[in-house]
């Protein structure tokens, strides 16, 4: 359908382009950034998406406006202008996108049977302004392969920058940027840097290089392995147990996707087994060297935290999450259909603020109606990611987004998630949905 039909001209949209930005092997262009990337709408979008990770750094506190709001407004303006000049299309109305619209509307309606506390309105505003907006912007940008590719490059380089920043301050300046800062309740104050943020970016680096290693030609294997090895060292050192587990989990997930492929499965599996073997050997060697030289693994904070959890010496972090999830489950059983209203968990448990389980959080606050809509959205995105990652012609860019979504989805079903500030997770959902959508024909003026 690329001609005239029924007296109306049908033209392909400006988005949904084929992967034309390729190297000689037919794979998407690699990691280097260019000025076009830095001055693009995708750059503004990524800076908005991860603004919470850098805006409290001393180097950025001079900003006259909040970077989150500033880059949100800039990205919305750039997208609106490109839609007006027909360089972008509005979101494609698929079933998951409609479900997200319904979820947003239901969350807004649930405010009226909540406690009407300022905390309720704060969470609703954050969800609609930040999380929902990021979802729809990602749906728009994700329909174009070259834009997905650019978003992934920007995310990778921002992650590398943040991890390098952490180690620069820790070993060059001599300041631990995630040191203990008590807010009076035994917790790190809101807005302060945490080890989970830096560990999450190390996990992103690991997953992106994993995808590059097994979905690109063999000559990219060693560069990918080097990136994975560095990221794994950071994951074992910074302290975040969850990101380390999710990064390691990405490898069997990649193996499952490769097994499902009809072609090129053997080559990818061989590279995956080689990478796993090398990482295990390198990790064991580094651990034994540390044990022999210092007598303990203090240099590996994450490993130490695992040991303390397993030995029951320090289980506070997981105990808090288990308590919050049990509370959310009990409250949901009291109002299973409509829930208590958005933001109510924060009023019931001001210490934890949210149960660290996105599904239980939504069930407790929005009931079965909201929970069902959320499950449909996540399931559709994961299915789309599996379909793309297991396709014989899948590129490493789409594979990386699929693995990022799968690992984040598992984490959100267990120990993570906060609806008001979960724009990164919902961006992964939106990009996987957009990548799987078929090109759409649009009516043009005759």
Q: Helices in 111-188 by DSSP H: which ranges?
A: 118-126, 133-142, 145-167
Give residue 160's pLDDT. Answer: 95
Q: What mean pLDDT is reported for the chain? A: 83
Quote the Cα angle for 181-182-188, to 5°.
Answer: 70
Q: Which of 6-10, 210-214, 295-299 has the weakest average pLDDT? A: 6-10
Q: Determine the average pLDDT of the residues in 401-412.
A: 95
Q: Check residue 113 and report its DSSP letter.
A: G
For the stretch 77-121, pLDDT in tens is 999 999 999 888 888 788 999 999 999 999 999 999 999 999 999
Give residue 7's pLDDT. Answer: 34
Contact between 193 and 240 under an 8 Å Cβ cutoff? The reply is no
381 vs 186, higher pLDDT: 381
For the cut 50, the answer to whether the pLDDT of residue 3 exceeds it is no
- Closest C-alpha to 24, from 189, 176, 217: 217
Structural domain including 270 reads 4-443
Q: Does pTM top 0.85 for this prediction?
A: yes
Which percentage of the chain shows pLDDT scores above 70?
A: 84
20 vs 282, higher pLDDT: 282
Contact between 395 and 211 under an 8 Å Cβ cutoff? The reply is no
For the cut 80, the answer to whether the pLDDT of residue 280 exceeds it is yes
For the stretch 118-141, pLDDT in tens is 999 999 999 999 999 999 999 999
Cα(347)–Cα(120) distance, rounded to whole angstroms?
8
414 vs 445, higher pLDDT: 414
For the cut 60, the answer to whether the pLDDT of residue 28 exceeds it is no
Cα(148)–Cα(104) distance, rounded to whole angstroms?
25
225 vs 181, higher pLDDT: 225
- Closest C-alpha to 230, from 315, 140, 166: 166
For the stretch 338-371, pLDDT in tens is 999 999 999 988 788 889 999 999 999 999 999 9
Q: Count how many domains the chain has.
A: 1
383 vs 261, higher pLDDT: 383
For the cut 90, the answer to whether the pLDDT of residue 265 exceeds it is no
Cα(118)–Cα(199) distance, rounded to whole angstroms?
32
Q: If pLDDT is split at 50, 70 and 90, which confidence band does 408 have? A: very high
């Amino acid at each position: 359908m690329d001609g005239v039909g029924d007296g109306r001209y049908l033209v392909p949209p400006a988005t949904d382009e084929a992967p034309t930005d390729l190297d000689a092997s037919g794979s998407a262009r690699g990691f280097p950034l260019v000025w076009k990337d830095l001055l693009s709408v995708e750059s503004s979008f990524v800076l908005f998406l991860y603004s919470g990770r850098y805006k409290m750094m001393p180097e950025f506190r001079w900003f006259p406006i909040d970077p989150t709001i500033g880059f949100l407004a800039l990205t919305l303006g750039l997208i609106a202008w490109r839609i007006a000049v027909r360089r972008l299309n509005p979101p494609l109305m698929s079933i998951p996108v409609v479900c997200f619209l319904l979820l947003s509307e239901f969350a807004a309606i649930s405010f009226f049977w909540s406690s009407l506390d300022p905390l309720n309105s704060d969470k609703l505003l954050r969800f609609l302004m930040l999380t929902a907006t990021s979802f729809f912007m990602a749906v728009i940008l994700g329909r174009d392969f070259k834009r997905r590719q650019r978003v992934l490059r920007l995310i990778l380089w921002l992650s590398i920058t943040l991890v390098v920043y952490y180690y620069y301050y820790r070993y060059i300046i001599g300041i631990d940027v995630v040191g203990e800062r008590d807010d009076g309740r035994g917790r790190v104050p809101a807005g302060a840097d945490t080890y989970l943020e830096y560990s999450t970016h190390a996990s992103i680096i690991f997953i992106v290089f994993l995808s590059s290693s097994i979905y690109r030609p063999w000559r990219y294997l060693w560069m990918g392995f080097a990136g994975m090895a560095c990221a794994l060292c950071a994951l074992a050192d910074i302290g975040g147990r969850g990101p380390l587990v999710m990064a390691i989990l990405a490898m069997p997930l990649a193996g499952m996707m490769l097994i499902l492929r009809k072609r090129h499965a053997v080559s990818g599996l061989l590279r995956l087994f080689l990478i796993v073997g090398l990482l295990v050997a390198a990790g064991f060697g580094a651990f034994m060297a540390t044990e022999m030289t210092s007598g303990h693994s203090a240099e590996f904070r994450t490993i130490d935290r695992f040991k303390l959890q397993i030995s029951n010496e320090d289980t506070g972090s997981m105990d808090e999450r288990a308590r919050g999830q049990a509370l959310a489950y009990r409250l949901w059983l009291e109002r299973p259909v409509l829930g208590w209203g958005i933001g109510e968990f924060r009023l019931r448990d001001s210490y934890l603020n949210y149960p660290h389980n996105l599904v239980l959080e939504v069930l407790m606050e929005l009931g079965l109606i909201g929970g069902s809509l959320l499950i449909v959205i996540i399931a559709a995105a994961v299915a789309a990611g599996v379909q793309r990652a297991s396709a014989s012609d899948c590129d490493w860019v789409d594979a990386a987004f699929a693995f990022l979504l799968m690992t984040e989805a598992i984490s959100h079903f267990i120990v993570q998630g906060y609806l008001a500030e979960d724009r990164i997770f919902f961006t992964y959902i939106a990009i996987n949905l957009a990548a799987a959508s078929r090109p759409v024909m649009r009516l043009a003026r005759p």
